[in-house]
Amino acid sequence: MSKLQYSTSMSLDGFVAGPDQSPDNPLGVGGHLLHEWMRALAAWRRDAGLEGGEINASTAVYEAEDNVGAIIMGRNMFGGGSGPWGDEPWMGWWGDDPPFHMPVFVLTHHPRDPLEFPGGTSFTFVSDGIDVALGLARHAANGGDVAVSGGASSAKQYLAAGLVDEIKIHLVPVFLGEGVRLFEDQALSAITLEQVRAIEAPGVTHLTYRIVR
């Protein structure tokens, strides 16, 4: 059964991005620290077209994401500011070869034609709400899992709607002090979690939780 999973790196004080996010600094001040564990991996570097890197306990965690067949992200993560897309619309943070290599569905209030990149990444802009985006993503995943990617607001909407099956937190030993806090919704207390596994790795602990229904 295709699962909807939410996977994110989070600071020990609960932030998934630092303060003062901007086009030049999409992760906010200090936010890059959340992803150092991943960027150190040979597997990540290979996917990014780079050489070198480490093989460690995070490698299997990173490669396990291979079962993901489609991604849902929020407008904030795709970027380009808010409001209508305009005449020369923002094409994403990632240049000519976005690192997703699969169908990506972007939640937005503003309709826009799809984008396709040669490397296999496509962006489909969905302005009909989270249920429609999930249906399209499940179809595109073709039996694989669907991942809700950052930002936090998309994850929060899917969590609040009871649609997430699995939460993966890559807990990083850093205090950001401020920024985008992932879990701050009182309604979360209605959710029952089951700890599936915890994996210790250099500079990160990988935590997986199942939502119990």
**Which residues contact its own copies by CB under 8 A?**
12-14, 30, 169, 171, 173-178, 183-191, 193-195, 197-200, 202-205, 207, 209
CA 72: distance to chain centroid? 8
Least distance between its own copies and beta carbon 39 (Å): 17
Least distance between its own copies and beta carbon 60 (Å): 15
**Closer residue to its own copies, CB minimum distance, 88 or 200:** 200
Number of C-beta neighbours around residue 19 at 10 A = 15
- Please, are residues 67 and 144 in contact by the beta-carbon 8 Å criterion? yes
**Closer residue to its own copies, CB minimum distance, 82 or 186:** 186
Read off the DSSP letter of residue 119.
Answer: T
Least distance between its own copies and beta carbon 152 (Å): 12
Least distance between its own copies and beta carbon 129 (Å): 24
Find the DSSP H helices in 74-161.
75-78, 130-141, 152-160
**Closer residue to its own copies, CB minimum distance, 94 or 183:** 183
Q: How far apart are CA 14 and CA 178, in angstroms?
A: 9
**Closer residue to its own copies, CB minimum distance, 97 or 178:** 178
**Closer residue to its own copies, CB minimum distance, 15 or 105:** 15
Q: How far apart are CA 105 and CA 85, in angstroms?
A: 16
Least distance between its own copies and beta carbon 116 (Å): 38
- Please, are residues 176 and 15 in contact by the beta-carbon 8 Å criterion? yes
**Closer residue to its own copies, CB minimum distance, 55 or 193:** 193
- Please, are residues 9 and 167 in contact by the beta-carbon 8 Å criterion? no
Tokens of 96: 């000519």
Q: How far apart are CA 54 and CA 192, in angstroms?
A: 36
Least distance between its own copies and beta carbon 45 (Å): 22
Query: Phi then psi for 163, rounded to 5 degrees?
Result: -100, -10
